[in-house]
Amino acid sequence: MKTDDLVAALSAGIGPVDFRVVGRRIALAVAAGAAISVAAILIGFGPRTGLSIAGACALLGVKIALAAAVAGVAAVDLIRLSRPGGGSKPGALLVILPFLLIVALAVVSLGAAPASHWNRMVAGDAWLECLVSIPVIAVVPFALAMWAVRQAAPTDLRRAGAFAGLLAGGISALAYALHCTDDSLPFVAVWYGGTILFCTIAGAALGPRLLRW
C-alpha cells in the first residue's frame, strides 16, 4: 500500500474535532467538584458562624473571591492545556495576580497592627485544620479535573497536572471558606495560599503519570 493510500485509509470517516467538548467536560468537572466539596465541608464541619459580627461578611467575601479567581483562571488555562500544543501560551501572570493581591493586603494588614498581634493574625485558631482540610477536600475535584483532561489530548502533562491541582485547590479553598471563621488576611495569605500552592505542586508531580497516553 502506498503512503498516500495508507493516510487516506486512516483518515477515512474522521470528522472535525469539536473543541467545545473539552470546555464542557472541564465545566462539568468544576461544577461536580464544587458541589461535592461544598457538601463535604457543610456536612463534615458545618457552616461558619459569626457572620453577624461587623466586617465578617466582607472578609468572607475576600476569601471566596480569592478562591474563585484562582479556580476560574485555572479552569480557563486547563481548557487550553487540554489541547495539543496548548502549553505554548502560559497564563502565568493571571494566575499570580490573585496571590500577589492577597499577599499585599496581608502585608498592609500586618503593618497596621501591633507586632504583638502578628503571630495571632497568621496562625488564627484553626491553622492545622485549614492545612489538612483544603488538600484533602481537593482530592475529589482534582480527580474529576484529571478525568476531564484525560478525555482530551494534552501534550504538556506536567503543566496540565499543575493547573488541575490549582483548580482543585481553588475549589477546595472556596468550599472551606464557608466553614472557616479565621478571617485575618495574613491567615488567608499563608494557609489558603500555601495549601493551594501545595495542590498545584502535587498536581504537577502527578500529571505526567496520570495523564500519560
Instruction: Locate 35 and state its grid cell.
Output: 458541589
Question: Tens of pLDDT along 101-118?
Answer: 999 999 999 999 999 899
Alpha-helix runs per DSSP H in 82-117: 92-111
What is the C-alpha to C-alpha distance for residues 3 and 131, in angstroms, rounded to an integer? 57
Confirm if 132 and 166 have CB atoms less than 8 A apart: no
What number of residues does the chain have? Answer: 213
DSSP letter assigned to residue 188: I
Half-sphere exposure of 132 (CA within 13 A, CB side): 3
DSSP letter assigned to residue 17: -
Q: Between residues 5 and 164, which one has the greater pLDDT?
A: 164
Report residue 155's pLDDT band, with 50, 70 and 90 as the boundaries. confident
- Give the pTM: 0.86
Residue with the three cell numbers 488567608 = 188
DSSP letter assigned to residue 190: I
Q: Between residues 171 and 90, which one has the greater pLDDT?
A: 171
Question: Tens of pLDDT along 157-205?
Answer: 999 999 999 999 999 999 999 999 998 999 999 999 999 999 999 999 9
Find, among 76, 77, 75, 69, the residue nearest to 188 by Cα.
Answer: 69
What is the C-alpha to C-alpha distance for residues 39 and 175, in angstroms, rounded to an integer? 8
Residue 114, SS3 per DSSP: coil
